[in-house]
Amino acid sequence: MFNAESFKELKRIVKGNKDGEEVMSEMERLALEEGIIGLYDYEKEQEKIIRGLEKEWKEEAKEEGIQKGIEQGIDLGRKETILNIVNNLHKLNISLEDISKSTGLSISEINNMIS
């Protein structure tokens, strides 16, 4: 869609060219026609809606990313806590079988943690 300045610029460019001047006259007529103006307004409204949705989707994605990060941090904290417990029990000479019973970990998992 042209704005007033571009209409002026186009008029200057086509001045003296019969076909160009006819095209400009038709463009000016269409620009003033209510149905055409309504279409332009509709397109502008659609663009606003799309921009609003894009912004909303970006916010949702950001919030999902933050939530995922929090969950990953909690999971990592749990794993570190279990690792510390296993290592502390091992240092107290608690048997691997008893560590396994108290933590729910397999002896293989415990061996991987204390090595």
Cα angle for residues 85, 86, 92 (degrees, 5° grid): 90
Calculate the average pLDDT of the chain.
Answer: 84
Mean pLDDT check: name the lowest of 23-37, 40-54, 99-113.
23-37
CA distance 84 to 114: 10
pLDDT of 46 reads 80
* 3-state SS assignment for residue 57: helix
Is the model more confident about 31 or about 111? 111
Is the model's pLDDT at 6 over the cut of 80?
A: no
Residue pair 7/27 in contact (Cβ under 8 Å)? The answer is yes
pLDDT tens digits, residue range 36-86?
666 666 777 788 888 888 888 899 999 999 999 999 999 999 999 999 999
Find all residues with CB under 8 Å of 71, minimum gap 6, and list them. Answer: none
**What is the number of other CB atoms lying within 10 angstroms of the CB of residue 99?**
22
Is the model's pLDDT at 1 over the cut of 60?
A: no
